[in-house]
């Protein structure tokens, strides 16, 4: 094994190696309570949004979303991530299909399903920027952090969801 | 009690509900207007499907039920399933 030791490494066009890739700030919103919706259009999930003000317009923002969803018997919950009012981290447009980062379907009323997305965004701004998660229900009620039945039982959990953003120096 | 389910049963205009207790729950309609919850009715509501959830929780997996039938026969399987139904009766 060899060791490369340098006092300073200058990257062509990017300044010092010390200046790129560094995490400048991290902000997280944790959702510990429950949410349900019967809306068939995308609706904000209360408490699953976060704001960050990038220090430079060249910064990247790493967005990490973790959710736990439940649905009513064999119907779909569809989740999407937005920067402001713009959907990001979505699949390609294809006919009338919703563009989303996740779709879940839980057939068991006592079950929930975890979904996550990691997306490296380039917001190109130094203004406060809000990222949020929306959900729609194909039919019936969709839930966050709970099962559909939400039975009061030692084997049926309440769960946790979160949205985390990290500003990364560009 | 599942407060979200109870609220939806009493207030059919509700679209979203956030929160877990009488103090924290906020319910909204299709126009995102807050719906005033009638907590007296909500707290008095009984879930007609509660027995189903409890039975579903106690039933063995389909794999285990099939294994029970294979090894011990239908009557043994029925006895075990009936015990769960009796433990959580309808209504």
What is the ipTM for the molecules in this complex?
0.81
What does the alpha-carbon distance between residue A105 and residue A71 come to, in Å, rounded to a whole number? 6
Q: What pLDDT sits at residue A32?
A: 98
Residue B69 CB: number of other CB atoms within 10 A? 14
CA distance A31 to chain B (A): 10
* Minimum Cα–Cα distance from B5: chain A residue: A149
Q: Please give the structure tokens belonging to residue B67.
A: 């294994």
Question: Strand A15-16 and strand A10-11: pairing?
Answer: antiparallel
If you write DSSP's letter for every residue of A12-47 in order, what string do you get?
Answer: TTTEEGGGSS-EEEEEEEEE-S-EEE--SS-EEEEE
Kindly state the DSSP code that residue B34 receives in the 8-state scheme. B
Chain B, 21 to 50: residues with Cβ < 8 Å from chain A are 24, 26, 30, 49
Beta-carbon separation of A109 and B56 below 8 A = yes
The answer to whether residue B69 scores a pLDDT higher than 90 is yes
| Residue B41: band (very low, low, confident or very high) from pLDDT cuts 50, 70, 90 | very high
Contacts of A153 in chain B (CB under 8 A): 57
The answer to whether residue B62 scores a pLDDT higher than 60 is yes
The answer to whether residue B27 scores a pLDDT higher than 90 is yes
Taking only the tens of pLDDT, chain A with its 170 residues reads 677 787 776 666 655 666 678 999 999 999 999 999 999 999 999 999 999 999 999 999 999 999 999 998 789 999 999 999 999 999 999 999 999 999 999 988 889 999 999 999 999 999 999 999 999 999 999 999 999 989 888 889 999 999 999 999 98
Q: What pLDDT sits at residue A11?
A: 62
Q: What pLDDT sits at residue A104?
A: 95
Contact predicate A166/A100, CB 8 Å: no
| pLDDT (average), residues B9-25 | 97
- With a pLDDT cut of 70, the percent of chain B lying above it is 100
- A121 closest CA partner among A65, A79, A39: A65
Segment (H or E) for A76 = strand A76-83
């Amino acid at each position: 094994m060899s060791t490369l030791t340098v006092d300073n490494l200058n990257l062509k066009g990017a300044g010092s190696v010390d200046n790129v890739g560094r995490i400048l700030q991290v902000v997280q919103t944790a959702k510990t309570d429950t949410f349900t919706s019967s809306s068939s259009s995308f609706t904000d999930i209360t408490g699953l949004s976060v704001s960050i003000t990038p220090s430079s317009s060249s910064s990247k923002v790493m967005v990490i979303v973790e959710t736990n969803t439940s649905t009513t018997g064999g119907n779909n919950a569809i989740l999407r991530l937005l920067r402001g009012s713009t959907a990001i981290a979505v699949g390609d447009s294809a006919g009338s299909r919703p563009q989303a980062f996740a779709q879940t379907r839980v057939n068991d009323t006592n079950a929930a399903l975890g979904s996550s997305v990691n997306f490296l965004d380039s917001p190109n701004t130094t203004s406060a920027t809000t990222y949020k998660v929306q959900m729609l229900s194909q039919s019936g009620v969709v839930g966050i952090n709970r099962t559909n039945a939400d039975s009061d039982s030692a084997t049926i959990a309440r769960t946790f969801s979160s949205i985390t953003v990290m500003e990364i120096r560009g | 009690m599942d407060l979200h389910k109870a609220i939806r049963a009493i207030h059919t205009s509700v679209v979203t509900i956030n929160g877990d207790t009488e103090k924290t729950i906020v319910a909204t309609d299709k126009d995102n207007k807050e719906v005033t919850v009638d907590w007296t009715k909500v707290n008095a509501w009984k879930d007609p499907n509660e027995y189903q959830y409890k039975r579903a929780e106690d039933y063995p997996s389909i794999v285990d039920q099939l294994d029970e039938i294979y090894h011990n026969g239908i009557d043994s399987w029925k006895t075990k399933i009936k015990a769960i139904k009796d433990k959580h009766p309808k209504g």
